[in-house]
Structure 1
Amino acid sequence: MKNPNIKWIYLIILSVIWGSSFILIKKSLLGLSPYQLGAIRTIFTGIILLSVGFYHLKDIPKSKWKWLLISGFLGSFFPAFLFAIAETEIDSAVASILNSLVPLNTIIMGFTIFKIASTRRQILGIIVGFIGTAILILKGSGLNPNQNYLYAGFVITSTLMYAANVNIIKRYLQDVKPLAIAAGNYIFIIIPALIILLFSGFFTSERLNHPNLLQSLGFVAILSVFGTAIAKVVFNKLIQISTPVFASSVTYIMPIIALVWGVLDGESFSIMQGLAAVLILIGVYLSHKRKV
Structure 2
Amino acid sequence: MMESEDVLNRQETLAKSGKYLFMEPKTQLAKILKTSIYNFLQKLILCAHDREILYDDVFSKQFFTFIKAMSSSNIRAIRHTAVIFAIKILTTLVIVYNKVINEGIYSEEENGVAEQDVLNVRKQDINALRLQDNKVTLMRVECIQEVSIWIKYFPKIFITQLQAINYLHKLITDMSKDVRYAALETFEALVKTPNILAILKVTLSDFSETIGKRFYDVDTKVSVKAIDIFTVFVKQDNSLISPRRFKLLINLVFDKCYPIGEAAAKFLLHYLQINEENEHMILVQLAKFSIK
Q: TM-score category by the smaller chain? A: under 0.3
Larger RCO: 1 or 2 (CA < 8 Å, sep 6+): 1
Q: TM-score, normalised by structure 1?
A: 0.24
Q: TM-score, normalised by structure 2?
A: 0.24
